[in-house]
Chain A
Amino acid sequence: SQTIHQWPATLVQPVGSPLSLECTVEGTSNPNLYWYRQAAGRGLQLLFYSVGIGQISSEVPQNLSASRPQDRQFILSSKKLLLSDSGFYLCAWSRLSMNTEAFFGQGTRLTVV
């Protein structure tokens, strides 16, 4: 069966510090991978998606970047965090395109102080 791992679960970082959130998927190959951010009381916002190694699409201009160094690994990064980067970050995967069912990780609560 397929599983998705996301870590850390919580993170408190000072403004201006770097960020690295990691997501890995097991039990499948060549998944589509996604990073979402969830703000309180609002829907999930798609930040990045990837259909293959090294292939990253950005949905919104922002202070964050994403990389996919391996088939089942997706990393969300920032060189210098802003207060506005605080939020709940979720990684997701699906087979082929988003026409199939999507599965989410347990999320990372990021607080920038």
Chain B
Amino acid sequence: KQEVTQIPAALSVPEGENLVLNCSFTDSAIYNLQWFRQDPGKGLTSLLLIQSSQREQTSGRLNASLDKSSGRSTLYIAASQPGDSATYLCAVSGDYKLSFGAGTTVTVRA
């Protein structure tokens, strides 16, 4: 059974600082890894999708890396802003299923 862990559970940083969010998974036989953002009481917004054959993916201030063999992914958010405050979830896919971590709740202080 795939287990996905996200560390830390919560993170508070001053505006402008870079964010580093970690995700680890136990089974390296994945098809892809997705990072999502969730605002309180809302659904999930897809941020980045990394296919299993890729090492990283970038979108604006966001960069995600994937090391499938070691079961790790990292989401980097450059120059954080208060609007980046949210919960960030990673999920790995295999066999019609997305397995999720519990998320990292980020607070960016103005």
Name A's B-contacting residues (CB within 8 A): 6, 32, 34, 41-44, 46, 49, 51, 57, 59, 88, 90, 92, 97-107, 109
Determine if B62 is an interface residue (Cβ-Cβ < 8 Å). Answer: no
B43 proximal to A (CB < 8 A): yes
Mind listing 9 A-B residue pairs with CB under 8 Å?
A43-B100, A51-B96, A57-B96, A92-B98, A98-B94, A101-B34, A104-B36, A104-B45, A106-B42
Count, A-B residue pairs, CB within 8 A? 65
Q: Which of A97, A98, A101, A102 has the most CB of B within 10 A?
A: A98
**A98 & B97 in contact (Cβ 8 Å cutoff):** yes
Beyond A43-B103, A106-B43, whether A99 also contacts B97 by CB under 8 A is: no
Closest to A99 in B: B31
Q: Is the CB of A43 within 8 A of B4?
A: yes
A residues less than 8 Å from B4 (CB atoms): 43
Chain B residues engaging chain A, CB cutoff 8 angstroms: 4, 31-32, 34, 36, 41-46, 49, 89, 91, 93-103
B100 A6 Cβ-Cβ under 8 A: no
10 further A-B pairs in the complex, CB-CB below 8 A; given A43-B99, A46-B98, A102-B91: A43-B89, A43-B101, A51-B96, A97-B96, A98-B96, A101-B34, A102-B93, A104-B36, A104-B46, A106-B42
Which residues of chain A come closer than 8 Å to B36, judged between CB atoms? Answer: 104
* Residues B46 and A46 in contact, CB atoms below 8 Å apart: no
Min CB distance, A22 to chain B, in Å? 15
**How far in angstroms is the closest Cβ of chain B from A68?**
14
Beta-carbon nearest neighbor of A57 in chain B = B96
- The verdict on A44 contacting B31 (CB below 8 Å), with A98-B97, A103-B46 known, is no
Contacts of A103 in B (CB 8 A): 46
> How far does the alpha carbon of A49 sit from the alpha carbon of B98 in the complex, in Å?
11
- Name A49's closest neighbour in chain B (CB-CB): B96
